[in-house]
Amino acid sequence: MTILIDQPEFGVEAGFMVPQSNAFGHTFRDYHVESERQQVVENFYRTNHIIQTYDFVKRMRKEYGKLDKVEMSIWECCELLNDVVDESDPDLDEPQIEHLLQTAEAIRKDYPGEDWLHLTGLIHDLGKVLLHPSFGGLPQWADVGDTYPVGCAFDESIVHHKYFEENPDYHNSAYNTKYGVYSEGCGLNNVLMSWGHDDYMYLVAKENNTTLPSAALFIIRYHSFYALHRSGSYKQLMNEEDVENLKWLEIFNKYDLYSKSKDRIDVEKVKPYYVSLIEKYFPAKLRW
């Protein structure tokens, strides 16, 4: 089922005010400020960049694309994330369910008529459940952090790019050119991304026959692809549908990044609304 959505009104300022600093008093996505948290983040990216190869991603997609781990509802998955903290995030050390609700509620305030976007805000990071012991507890470097294409050159805009020099694909002539195994305008749907929660949640939503629009699936799959939506890299791989969906991702990114704070959301107060959206766009139980 395809749902048509109106294009966003670009140039119209929404009410959400971007804060000047993150929960630690630093600039958002500052990967160079010296702190104990930053050392954790840098160590994470070193491991991530060395191990995430084209062949590794193909193996992970094959394994986790089976969706044979468990059956549960969207909200049950949200509750599992109470136990998850993202080590790659320099801006927040709260449980992930806090971030999900902060993102969704900020979007809901500014775009009250786009209920699909509210739900996308709630579920966009649910793939981080792969870190949970009940899913086998993937290491952080295999589930979180910025994502990027594999199978072509690693763009220098990717955070902590220097560590790619230890990745076997960096020296492989089949994978280290501008297009690598891809072609101009091939479409991001045909590009393998580094493995993580984005691609996993995309697979979960798609294979469980969600009725969310394509823009929602694009946001879920590429919201951590900062080299694209922050730096403008890899646009040579995009097709026309990608160009249109990127407009919604750029809107979403503001709420994903800047709504992170120590302010708490009253979960029980907002739960009925989000449960109603889950029932609208998803089956009662999903394969994960």
- List the binding residues for substrate: 29, 86-88, 128, 145-146, 223-224
Mean pLDDT to the nearest integer, 255-275: 85
Residue type at 97 in one-letter notation: I
Please give the mean pLDDT across all residues of the chain.
88
In a domain, residue 2? The reply is: no
- The arithmetic mean of pLDDT across residues 212-220, rounded, is 98
Residue 8 lies in a domain: no
**Which pLDDT score, from 0 to 100, does residue 3 have?**
45
Q: What confidence score (pLDDT) does residue 138 get? A: 95
Q: Please, what is the Cα angle at 258 between 105 and 262, to 5 degrees?
A: 75
Looking at the domain assignment, is residue 21 inside a domain? Answer: no
pLDDT confidence bin for 97, thresholds 50/70/90: confident
The single-letter DSSP state of residue 134 is G
- Binding positions for Fe cation are 99, 124-125, 197, 223, 256
If one counts the domains in the chain, the total is 1
Burial (Cβ within 10 Å: 0-12, 13-18, ≥19) of residue 202: buried
CA atoms within 13 A on the CB side of 95: 13
- Number of alpha carbons in the 13 Å side-chain half-sphere of residue 239: 10
- Residue 260, helix vs strand vs coil: coil
Model confidence at 216, pLDDT cuts 50, 70, 90, reads: very high
Q: Is 73 contained in some domain? A: yes
CA 111 to CA 5: how far, in whole Å?
13
| Domain that residue 127 falls in | 36-287
Spatial neighbors of 164 by CB under 8 A, at least 6 apart, are 49, 50, 154, 158, 170
Structural domain includes residue 215: yes
| Residues counted in the chain | 288
Binding residues: 29, 86-88, 99, 124-125, 128, 145-146, 197, 223-224, 256
* 24 found inside a domain: no
Between CA 278 and CA 30 the distance in angstroms is 34
- Confidence check: pLDDT of 184 > 80: yes
Pairing of strands 71-72, 286-287: antiparallel
Q: What are phi and psi of 109, to 5 degrees?
A: -70, -40
Residue 169, pLDDT above cutoff 80: yes
- Going by pLDDT thresholds of 50, 70 and 90, the confidence category of residue 37 is low
Residue 23 binned pLDDT confidence (cut-offs 50, 70, 90):
very low
Residues 262, 263, 269: CA angle, nearest 5 degrees: 140
User: 15 vs 73, 225, 266, 272, 285, CA distance in Å?
Assistant: 32, 25, 21, 24, 35
- Whether 105 is in a domain gets the answer yes
The answer to whether residue 132 is domain-embedded is yes
